[in-house]
A and B are shown apart, each in its own frame.
Chain A
Amino acid sequence: MIDYSFLQHYWWFIISLIGGIFAFLMFVQGGQSMLFSLGKEDKHRFLMVNALGRKWEYTFTTLVTFGGALFASFPLFYSTSFGGAYWVWMLILFCFVIQAVSYEYMSKPGNTWGKKTYQVFLFLNGLLGTFLVGVAIATFFTGAEFAVNKGNIANLGVENVTGVVISQWQNPLHGLEALGDFRNWCLGFAVFFLTRTIACLFFINRLDDQELVARSRKFLIYNALPFVVFFLVFVIWTLLSTGYSVNPETKAIIEGVANKYFWNLVELPVVGIVFLIGVVLVLYGIIRTILSTSFTSGVWFSGVGTVLTVCALLLITGFNNTPYYPSSVNPQSSLTLQNSSSSEFTLTAMFYVSLLVPFVLAYIIYAWNALEKKKFKKEDLKEDGHVY
């Protein structure tokens, strides 16, 4: 039962799940992007920063885990996309580097660059980080410009030293060309507004500050609407678009498959249903919060919904004989679960490691609850002792 193909699919599922959890946890970034709009006064910014500052490491660590899991399970993606779409990934990394110090340094004497600088760092992380992650993930559907030739490494006589490199990006913009496709922008904006939407729901759930909660409710509407629009445009466009497929016998890439992603949802009914439940949960969390001022648990509905929706979307990029990272310039180079994965041995070893994940989740939930027994207000912060 646990054969190579199962393991490849299992690991794509784990990647998709981590991706889904990451999308939800990026509410931290969404909240940061509203630091100067939702947080109009210093006292509001103070509360927002401290509420988000207790969560940012989960998001950050999830991103690192996403990278590590991809490296261990699909190393050809690691070498092709990171080494090729250099600028997109580098910009994303910069956005996260500047975040990592900002909470801790923001209010400390001697921080040299001033509180405002670190707040701007957080804002940039929220604005660009979310958008670019969306754009990068969109290329799993819209394709990227690369060619892979594993034989290159045996090229001894080449003039150019980079001739030995297996994965060759074909566009000199090294990833920034993804901004030339409006569909990528749509997912970028959808992720950006989604993370802000969830951040509003998080503030409504966590904060004990009437004014800020009231503003969060307003901001919820401003952000949920564009989110829904961009999300729908991206999803409908994608479901109607032509995609690639993998011939399960020859492993060759078949081009021009009409409505490929739509059929993936239909032919993988469980994924299709998870996708629909996810979307409904996201919308339920948003709409009920908008309609009822006493309802504050929207973040959990929309949060779980986000995990399910994003997980399902990532699953249909790779399952059902689909190349998850299509090459638009050299279709046969497209990355599939089969041609890009680690060996069966490594995937098996990592399978056992993945059994630790429930323990990790258990202590995260414990820690989250331990710190969140009561709502978050200014007075408690002093008592807790570590204030940003």
Chain B
Amino acid sequence: MINYRTPIHSANAMDTRDNIILDGDNVTLYKCISVEDMPLAMAYVPWQQWKTVYDLNKALKIGTIFPELDLPFCGMRGEHA
């Protein structure tokens, strides 16, 4: 469970694209702020970052190249495929 009281720069804090930084290795960094500091009455989906991707054949079968977005239907509580 995400702990909304985590301090700034924690991996669990919500992120913002303010101050997108491209460092020498062409990696995009994101500044993190706490969910508590985000304005009320709005919805926030976290920014996806490019990590490793599935190989071509697996990606087509699954329906996405991104393992983080591979969230299959199991039809049963407590089960994760």
Q: Do A and B bind each other?
A: no
